[in-house]
Amino acid sequence: MADAALPHLGSAAAYAVRALPLAAATDRAADARARLAGQRFDAVDWLYVVNGDRRFAGVVALADLLAAPAERQVGELMQPARSVRPSDDQADALALAWRHNLTAVPVVDLHGILVGAVPAAGLLDIGRREHEEDLSRLAGIMHETDHGHAADRALTDAPWRRAGRRLPWLLAGMVGAVLATAVMARFEAAVAGYVAIAFFVPAIVYLADAVGTQTETVVVRGLAAHDLPLGRLLLSEVATGALLGTVLGLVALAAVWLFFGDFRLAGAVAITILAASGVAAACGLLLPWALDRLGFDPAFGSGPVATVIQDIVSLLIYFSVLAAWL
């Protein structure tokens, strides 16, 4: 009950309303309907069924209650309903609503007591805030501890605060840039011997990043809306990345061969794009998935972090293919 009395920002309890239509399982439908008349409720999606100490039992759709015979008991109309704890993150309530097509989410404490419900308006507000936060985190301008209006403050805070939010991710990117430079330096002799090799680095890195970003965008909120096994998700996303890489690789093969007249170089670029696209798709899935399983927002596995990893892996693939192909 303490969680409901003092909800922390970003929790399900912060969006819960208390004035709900209640009934006992043994109540007659006519009596339950009579108690609704003349009262104002904060949410009227369901009639919430509780026992004498407000222990949550289930819900009845108001349409079913209104259509039920007068003598029929509420318990006969009741259906079970999933719920969240008062301290659960707001995203958990939204995910539950998505997965089970709910217009309101009951909030039940550790003792099974109904403390409120997150109504449709609350779910819409949570969805908007989660969307804003995801966009900010994908761009690397929010920290894990940011809640509430943090996404709004990304444009209104003082410059030093805004810089402080963004700098850690850019420093991570700088570390990645150093590692990418080290990879390039490792193959300095190959680049010096055939300068055309370097021409395709930006294109390969960009295409891999683009494929990875598409995967991250799909996965970050998809993890909340669906609960699919990792193997199935990974196989499907890698296959998608490979298909994209095949098409892009064939286009690159024709273009490089046409303009440079070197089939082996064109083949190396095409193979790299194919392999890098598959790896980028896998990375774009595995990073958010791992963070989600560890209890963090999956959006933190996207944006700058994923970009650094994908860039380095793409370069390693490219020069490895060159070493074996040329």
DSSP string, 85-105: -TTSBHHHHHHHHHHHT-SSE
Quickly list H helices, 139-186: 150-153, 159-186
> pLDDT tens digits for the chain (326 residues)?
344 444 566 788 889 999 999 999 999 999 999 988 888 999 888 999 998 888 999 999 988 999 999 999 999 999 998 999 999 988 889 888 888 888 899 999 999 999 999 999 899 888 888 777 766 665 555 555 455 455 555 556 677 777 776 777 677 778 877 888 888 888 887 777 788 888 999 999 999 988 988 887 777 666 655 666 778 788 888 899 999 999 999 999 999 999 988 999 999 999 999 999 999 999 888 887 887 777 666 665 566 677 888 888 999 999 989 888 76
Topology match between the domains 2-125 and 158-325: no
The crossing angle, in degrees rounded to 10, of helices 201-225 and 304-325 is 130
Where do the structural domains in the chain lie, given as residue ranges? 2-125, 158-325
What are the residues facing 186 on neighbouring strands?
A: none
Classify 2-125 by CATH class: alpha beta
pTM for this predicted structure? 0.62
CATH (one of 3.40.50.300, 1.10.357.20, 3.40.50.2300, 2.40.110.10) for 158-325: 1.10.357.20
Burial of 105 by CB count in 10 Å (0-12 exposed, 13-18 middle, 19+ buried)?
Answer: buried
